[in-house]
Amino acid sequence: MLQGCLDNLSIAQEALYNRFSPRMLGVCYRYARNREDAEDMLQEGFMKVYSQIHQYKGSGALEGWIRKIIVHTCINILKKNKKFSDSVDLIHASSIQISDNNIPSMLQAKQVVECIRLLPIGYRTVLNLYAIEGFSHKEISAILEIEESTSRSQYTRARGLLEEILIKKKILQKPRSNVRMVSINS
Cα 23 to Cα 14, 19, 50, 69: the distances in Å are: 15, 9, 17, 13
Q: Which stretch binds other proteins (CB under 8 A): 74-82, 93-101, 126-134, 146-154?
A: 126-134
Phi, psi for 93 (deg, rounded to 5): -65, -35
* Touching other proteins, residues 22-41 (CB under 8 A): 22-23, 25-26, 29-30, 35, 38-39
d(CA 114, CA 38): 13
Q: Which stretch binds other proteins (CB under 8 A): 95-103, 104-112, 118-126, 146-154?
A: 104-112
d(CA 26, CA 88): 25
Question: Among residues 20 and 84, whose Cβ is nearest to other proteins?
Answer: 20
Q: CB-based contacts of 180: which residues, under 8 Å, 6+ apart?
A: none
Choice from 81, 87, 179, 182 touching other proteins (CB under 8 A): 182
| Residue 132 binds other proteins, judged by CB under 8 A | yes
d(CA 110, CA 113): 5
CB 5 within 8 A of CB 53: yes
Question: Among residues 78 and 124, whose Cβ is nearest to other proteins?
Answer: 124
Choice from 37, 43, 92, 152 touching other proteins (CB under 8 A): 43
Interacting residue ranges for other proteins, rule: CB under 8 A: 8, 10, 13-14, 17, 21-23, 25-26, 29-30, 35, 38-39, 42-43, 46-47, 50, 68, 108-110, 112-113, 116, 128, 130-136, 139, 159, 162-163, 180-184, 186
